[in-house]
Amino acid sequence: MKLFKETPLKTKIAIVTGGTRGIGLGIADKLASLGAKVIVAAIHEEKIKHTFIHCDVSDMGNVKAMVVEVLNKFKKIDILVNNAGIYPPISFAEMQEEHWDKIISVNLKGTFNCTKAVADSMMQQNYGKIINISSIAGLVGYLGLTHYSATKAGINGFTRGLALELAPFGINVNAIAPGGIDTHGTKETLQGPVKDAFIQAVPLKRLGTPKDIAELAAFLATDASSYITGQTIVCDGGYTLI
């Protein structure tokens, strides 16, 4: 079943960070299928059908240059999906300051950098959709992911505060908290009996797919969600219900 029968994003310009694979690419493809012009901003370039701009989201100078390039070419930015993130498991006992700083700079500061860079443009046009990709790790704890969980919990709080500040400008700010999603990164960290046990703990008895997250992101990117802001929407097959 398709959520939309037409192309509600036909005139929209969307930036998806980290959109060359996994959840990000799924979102980029979905937004494009609804008519949006999609710009993927990422470090690693892959063979994708969308406009690609090299961008390190942890570097504000890099981000500003990317946003200027988009505005110069397309004149506006309607949608920002803050998807870029890293996921390096390490126990707290082994964790060093550089491990902490790296994940904070990409996952949390990167979300701030990109949002800060597009906010003025969205405020001037009195319209915008900002979608932050969080995680259920920001809601529950996991071994080896204290730093990752901290960034995702931070994104949830950032989403709520920012939604209040940008609401007067007609800008919706929401977050999606995926559960276990079948991506390249998950395949590296979730294998064998551990994967089987995880799936058994999911009420729907499967991992999610990038498409599952993309469909939700599409809803939040359209005016069908115009009265929703400041929310972190969990998409995890029911995992956090138990």
Active-site residues: which are they?
148
List 175's β-bridge partners, or say none: 132, 232
Reported in sequence order, the residue ranges of 43-188 that DSSP labels E, i.e. its strands, are: 51-54, 79-82, 128-133, 171-178
The pair of three-digit structure tokens given for residue 127, joined into one six-digit string: 């319209």
Inter-residue contact 180 to 207 (CB < 8 Å): yes
List 14's β-bridge partners, or say none: 38, 79
Q: How far apart are CA 175 and CA 150, in angstroms?
A: 15
Between CA 110 and CA 115, with CA 111 as vertex, the angle to 5 degrees is 115
The pair of three-digit structure tokens given for residue 114, joined into one six-digit string: 């990109």
Inter-residue contact 182 to 141 (CB < 8 Å): no
